[in-house]
Amino acid sequence: MFDAETVARAEAVLAACRVRGLMLATAESCTGGLIAGALTAIAGSSDVVERGFVTYTNEAKQDMLGVAPGLFGAGAPGAVSEDVARAMAEGAVACSPADISVSVTGIAGPGGGTDEKPVGLVHMAVALDGHQTLHERHVFPGDRNAVRDHTIIAALALLERALA
């Protein structure tokens, strides 16, 4: 189901969490749970993966992760933004027993893009209890599946860096 690079990165994340004794949560929008899916495709991952939040709507981000309503709507950063990615990651740690989380929010396409926020734009963040939240912004090429695949790999890589 997942390619060799994704599996290798997922295995590396799980191993790094085990070494540090950390439990992991995911908070996903544009990937719809695929990051959690990649991690849990590895046998024995239940000792690390605590839960996954699929928060596809703004309401879900608010209800499940505590993202502030003021981040959405006219004049606000909006769902696809650094602010929301950070809030999602921090909310996943705050709303679960997990020690570390990764979040992704973006525009996978084929529609929904604008000049300011094009198709392929993804914001991701990693929150680790007691540390500064990391953020990355990417604009990935390709169709919906390619954007989602790139996002999974980049999110796992960001987790790896946070755990290094």
pLDDT score of 129 more than 90: no
- Quick one: CATH architecture of 4-163? Alpha-Beta Complex (3.90)
Name the residue among 161, 114, 146 with its Cα closest to residue 31.
146
Would you call 3 helix, strand, or coil by DSSP? coil
Decide: residue 12, CB within 10 A, 0-12 exposed, 13-18 middle, 19+ buried: middle
- pLDDT tens, 112-127? 999 999 999 999 999 9
Rounded CA separation 68/137 (Å): 20
Q: Which pLDDT score is estimated for 98?
A: 98
Please state the domain extents for the chain.
Answer: 4-163
Tokens of 8: 């290798």
pLDDT band at 67 (very low <50, low <70, confident <90, very high): very high
Q: How far is C-alpha 113 from the chain's CA centre? A: 20
Tokens of 145: 């599946």
Q: What is the pTM of this model?
A: 0.97
Residue 27 phi/psi, 5-degree rounding, is: -130, 105
